[in-house]
């Protein structure tokens, strides 16, 4: 066994959290799943405690899931974890890099700055400007800045008229504040999840719609299938994930008539798609990657 103590930041009882913790326990003999709702940060010392465990004394933590839902509160949890990184505890991925992807605007702005093709996107607080964008796009997706699996997204059509769209926009604004609008992209019934581990390509799976929803998410009835990505497509995914420094991630790509576009890079990546779509145990591979990184760093420090 490898003598390392690594905690999994996740949701106790969730499959993706438990499968990763199980693998680490098999390799190290140590198991610790941390629910951030019960973590205490001592600001005067920078120490984080979870029940009887001092997280600062661990060899590392893997951030598998920061909360059930994305929200500003999830970003606060990441700021707490940044104290671990400052204290020398290796975090996979870095809390700062994960934080850049919790907020949809910051994540896609980084992709745009990196020259990654995206659907045409408009961000505004103005209802009038939002209506103009809907008119220009013909059909748009209104997205909350904090959401996953297409939750809270609204399809808006110019053909529905200004009055109907104004009502939908105002209702959305009352809850979310800012309008983030993307031109509706015809997915052709599927989109792709491209998986990267430590910056290296692992596999690609397709999410195929059941035909009952506009999106392909598993949450809305989609199914995973294998997909043989071309070298050019893999290079696009590599370029997108390289805008961030993540230990494990999934790049969401759509194939459109105008060419492939990237929707987003996942803050955490998913194990289920790799398992069901590609037959790859990504949890095992991530665990092994983390252990290898820690052992290499320890050997380098000892030699130096």
52-61, 165-174, 211-220, 248-257: range with lowest mean pLDDT: 211-220
Find the mean pLDDT for residues 123-142.
97
Top-level CATH class of 121-183? alpha beta
Q: What's the pLDDT at 240?
A: 98
- Residue 69's pLDDT band (boundaries 50, 70, 90)? confident
Q: Is residue 130 classed exposed, middle or buried when 0-12, 13-18 and 19+ CB atoms within 10 A define those classes?
A: buried
Asked if pLDDT for residue 249 goes beyond 60, the answer is yes
Q: What's the pLDDT at 204?
A: 97
Note the pLDDT tens digit of each residue in 163-190: 999 999 999 999 998 999 999 988 778 8
205-211: long-range contacts, CB 8 A cutoff, minimum separation 24: 205/273, 205/274, 205/276, 205/277, 205/278, 206/277, 207/273
Asked if pLDDT for residue 293 goes beyond 80, the answer is yes
Q: What's the pLDDT at 22?
A: 97
Per-domain residue ranges of the chain: 6-95, 121-183, 186-281
Q: Domain 186-281 carries which CATH code?
A: 3.30.470.20
Q: How many angstroms separate the CA atoms of 279 and 102, rounded? A: 28
Asked if pLDDT for residue 251 goes beyond 70, the answer is yes
Counted residue by residue, the chain has a size of 304
Note the pLDDT tens digit of each residue in 3-37: 999 999 999 999 999 999 999 999 999 999 999 99
Collect all residues with Cβ–Cβ distance below 8 Å to 119 and sequence separation of at least 6: 182, 183, 185, 254, 261, 263
- Residue 39's pLDDT band (boundaries 50, 70, 90)? very high
More confident call, 248 vs 212: 248
Q: What's the pLDDT at 218?
A: 57
The residues facing 6 across adjacent strands are 60
Note the pLDDT tens digit of each residue in 187-220: 778 899 999 999 999 999 999 876 555 555 655 5
Rg (CA), the chain: 20
Q: How many angstroms separate the CA atoms of 43 and 61, rounded? A: 19
Asked if pLDDT for residue 157 goes beyond 80, the answer is yes
Find the mean pLDDT for residues 129-135.
98
Half-sphere exposure of 262 (CA within 13 A, CB side): 28
Q: Please say whether the structural domain 6-95 has been given the CATH code 1.20.1440.230.
A: no
Q: Which of 100, 9, 170, 69 is nearest to 20 (CA)?
A: 9
Find the mean pLDDT for residues 111-127.
97
Average pLDDT value for the chain: 93
Q: What's the pLDDT at 92?
A: 98
Asked if pLDDT for residue 50 goes beyond 90, the answer is yes
Asked if pLDDT for residue 89 goes beyond 80, the answer is yes
Q: What's the pLDDT at 216?
A: 55
More confident call, 187 vs 94: 94
Beta strands in the chain (DSSP E): 6-9, 33-34, 39-42, 47-50, 53-54, 60-63, 90-92, 121-124, 139-142, 154-157, 179-183, 190-197, 200-208, 223-226, 248-256, 259-265
Q: Is residue 286 classed exposed, middle or buried when 0-12, 13-18 and 19+ CB atoms within 10 A define those classes?
A: buried
């Amino acid at each position: 066994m490898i003598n390392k103590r690594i905690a999994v930041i996740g949701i106790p009882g969730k499959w993706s959290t438990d499968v990763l913790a199980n693998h680490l326990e098999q390799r190290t003999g140590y198991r610790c799943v941390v629910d951030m709702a019960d973590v205490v940060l001592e600001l005067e010392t920078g120490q984080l405690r979870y029940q009887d465990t001092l997280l600062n004394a661990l060899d590392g933590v893997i951030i598998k899931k920061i909360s059930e839902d994305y929200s500003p509160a999830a970003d606060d949890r990441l700021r707490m974890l940044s104290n671990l990184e400052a204290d020398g505890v290796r975090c996979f991925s870095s809390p700062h890099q994960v934080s850049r992807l919790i907020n949809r605007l910051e994540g896609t702005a980084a992709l745009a700055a990196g020259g990654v093709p995206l659907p045409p996107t408009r961000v505004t607080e103005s209802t009038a400007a939002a209506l103009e964008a809907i008119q220009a796009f013909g059909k748009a997706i209104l997205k909350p800045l904090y959401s996953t699996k297409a939750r809270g997204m609204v399809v808006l059509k110019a053909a529905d008229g200004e009055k109907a769209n104004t009502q939908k926009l105002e209702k959305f604004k009352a809850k979310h504040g800012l309008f983030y609008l993307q031109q509706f992209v015809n997915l052709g019934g599927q989109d792709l999840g491209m998986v990267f581990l430590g910056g290296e390509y692992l596999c690609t799976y397709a999410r195929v719609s059941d035909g009952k929803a506009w999106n392909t998410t598993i949450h809305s009835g989609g199914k995973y299938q294998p997909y043989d990505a071309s070298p050019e497509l893999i290079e696009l995914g590599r370029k997108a994930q390289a805008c961030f420094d993540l230990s494990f991630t999934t790049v969401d790509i759509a194939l459109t008539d105008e060419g492939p576009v990237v929707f987003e890079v996942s803050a955490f990546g998913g194990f289920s798609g790799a398992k069901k779509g590609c037959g790859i145990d990504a949890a095992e591979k991530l665990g092994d990657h983390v252990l290898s990184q820690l052992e290499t760093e320890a050997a380098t420090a000892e030699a130096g």
